[in-house]
Homo-oligomer: A and B are copies of this chain.
Amino acid sequence: MKLSVLGEFGLIDRIRNISGRNTSSALIGIGDDAAVLKHSSSHVMLVTTDLLLEDVHFERSYTDYYSLGWKSAAVNLSDIAAMGGTPRFCLTALGIPGYVTAEHVLDFYRGFNTLLNNHKTALVGGDTCSSPDGLFVSVTAIGEAKSSLVVTRKGARPGDSIFVTGSLGDSAAGLEILKKRRGHGAGGKGKNAERLVEKHLRPVPRVAEGRAIALSRCATAMIDISDGLSSDLFHICEQSRVGADIIADRIPLSSMLKNREGKLTKPVLDYALSGGEDYELLFTVPPARVKKVRSLDFPVTEIGTIKAGKRLSLVDSFGKRSPLRKSGHDHFRTPAGTHEGRLRTPRGERRG
């Protein structure tokens, strides 16, 4: 059977069946941003692994090695952040093709370790190997959290408010600029374009924010936005068995992104809804906690409400509802023939 027939989530279910017999010692195994493993009577260990492949997740034509190292670390730390944890350690596995020089590898590690240093996380091991074909990076991040503070994707309840940190869509717009520049040398100039590009190449994982949200005990469910708001909200709703209304006008867009309205190929809201790779945190908050969440010392925006049922809707400024789609992120079923599936969730829309 082709993987495209079974589909990503079918495959993950079957792998879970195969491995089901011996996962009892894990508090949470396959299925969330990170696995949750018993550490001590009061603390758990969080573990996650993420792949970045050349020509699937990045292209050398627009990614420098420093940024690639930075981002490889960031996407993994973002998963730890999404559980409310503190990242502690990372391991890397690199498949290195012949065209990669020693300087490239060291630049990769400079970027990787700069991001790690920013979050007091240590590189403790790894493996490197020649790759007969493209470059790839596999990173494992290990974090920890107080058991009582871990936030999964499962706890959202009807009536909860839906919040998001930062702003959405910048990374996808930055990627479009990078690709246009490569194509015909002009895809956007000026400070705004540079900042959008930077948000794509060197995203900042919301580690302190994730921890603060967990500590505040405000969040009933949390995920990082790697595939795009609609896809990642879908994961929370699916695992919590709820629906959601998102108010289109409330989705936070940066001034950089809004300034590019008309210069991009799609309406700016599309980048926020399904662009992906924002690495902001999406979380749900019960009514009694909304006030407390607003007092956190970083920007959060209330963008909608969790509903009973299964429907995910986008509500426009006239109050009109339209279905919010997962935008086809079963990566084993994309028409391009590329597939990507995580033993937890898909990540990073394959654009272009």
Contacts and interface: CB of A to CB of B under 8 A. Distances in A.
Interface of A: 1-3, 5-6, 8, 10-11, 14-15, 18-19, 21-26, 29-30, 34-35, 37, 39-40, 45, 47-51, 53-57, 88-89, 91-93, 95-96, 98, 100-103, 105-106, 109-110, 112-113, 116-117, 120-134, 136, 138, 140, 142, 331-332, 337-344, 347
A5 B102 contact: yes
Contact of A29 (B39, B121, B125): B125
Contacts of A340: 127-130
A120 B22 contact: yes
Contacts of A45: 45, 142
Contact of A116 (B19, B47, B51, B140): B19
Which residue among A19, A37, A47, A54 has the maximum number of chain B CB atoms within 10 Å of its CB? A19
Nearest to A1: B102
Contact of A123 (B1, B30, B347): B30
B140 A109 contact: no
Contact of A19 (B23, B102, B113): B113
B56 A129 contact: yes
Given A122-B29, A129-B340, A116 B53 contact: no
Contacts of A53: 95, 129-132
A47 B89 contact: yes
Residue in A15, A45, A337 with the greatest tally of chain B CB atoms within 10 Å = A15
B23 A122 contact: yes
Q: Looking at chain A's contact residues, is the secondary structure mostly helix, strand, loop, or mixed?
A: mixed
B338 A113 contact: no
Contacts of A48: 91, 125
Contact of A89 (B37, B51, B123): B37
B29 A123 contact: yes
26 contacts: A10-B102, A11-B128, A18-B113, A21-B113, A22-B122, A23-B122, A25-B122, A30-B125, A37-B88, A47-B91, A47-B124, A49-B93, A49-B125, A49-B127, A51-B128, A51-B138, A92-B343, A123-B343, A127-B342, A128-B343, A129-B331, A130-B331, A132-B134, A133-B134, A136-B136, A142-B142
Contacts of A130: 53, 56, 331-332, 337-340
Contact of A51 (B5, B95, B100): B95
A237 to B, nearest CB: 21
Given A22-B120, A56-B129, A136 B95 contact: yes
Nearest to A337: B98
B133 A1 contact: no
Nearest to A344: B125
A157 to B, nearest CB: 26
A91 B53 CA distance: 18
Nearest to A52: B129
A24 B117 CA distance: 12
A6 B100 CA distance: 13
Contacts of A91: 35, 47-49, 140, 343
